[in-house]
Amino acid sequence: MKKLYSILFFSISIQLFAFSQSEKPLLISKLTDHIYIYTTFNTYNGSKVPANGLYVTTDEGVILIETPWDESQFQPLLDSIEFKHHKKVMFSISTHSHEDRTAGIEYYKSKGIKTYTSNQTDSISKITGKNRAAFLFNNDTTFKLGAEDVNTYFPGKGHTADNIVIWFEKQKVLYGGCFIKSSDATDLGNINDAIPDQWLTSVNNVKMKFKSPKYIIPGHDDWKDGKGLLQTEYLLNQYLKNKL
């Protein structure tokens, strides 16, 4: 009987552990030696939705791409980075004006972190009342910190009029934000501000600009098979076909 109780207890413990792991509000996954994907969660259309961001470690500190969508994870992300890498976040870049990219801008400004968006994003944020970064950049820009270069690229309108993607040349990592859909996405998601008629051309611009990326990171859901651009093309073709 004691053996049976032990087996049952062990089984229940494993199930609870698995559940707690899946319910973590902040997930961090190592992508390369210096690049990590972080994921937070929020509710959209009644469902819990994951949102991916990214950070890069350098000898001079950390570069943050996006901010957490979940307000409760603004500080835990900073704490996790400092605990794991013994480094501070020096600046953040948000890829467009939606809250799953910019929710933490004001908080990080209050912590002395430099926050960046494009001028185009800031113009939209000003009109829509979204959080606005402290610093702005024009056109395609290369940010440098330590030995790392972070390249921003505006491919054209798509998910939004202001969406940019981020390219890490050394690691051949393409971060697409919401401009790129996950390979397991079944639709285009939130298209309230989308320009589907131009999105397909913009995707092609990315493919021509950044050939043979090793990793392609979408703004939501899984990235591990690297087929996000192909799935985005497929979903756009289906959407445009259904509009005819």
Q: Counting every residue, how long is the chain? A: 244
The yes-or-no answer on residue 34 being catalytic is: no
The yes-or-no answer on residue 96 being catalytic is: yes
Spatial CA neighbour of 179 closest among 142, 210, 139, 220: 220
Which one from 34, 70, 100, 122 is the annotated catalytic residue? 100
Which one from 42, 70, 159, 162 is the annotated catalytic residue? 159
Dihedrals φ, ψ of 162, to 5°?
-115, 5
Which one from 42, 52, 70, 98 is the annotated catalytic residue? 98
The yes-or-no answer on residue 85 being catalytic is: no
Distance CA 112, CA 100 (A): 21
Contact between 130 and 97 under an 8 Å Cβ cutoff? The reply is yes
The yes-or-no answer on residue 159 being catalytic is: yes
The yes-or-no answer on residue 122 being catalytic is: no
Beta strands in the chain (DSSP E): 26-30, 35-44, 47-58, 61-65, 89-93, 114-118, 135-137, 142-145, 148-153, 165-168, 173-177, 215-218
Report the catalytic residues: 96, 98, 100, 159, 190
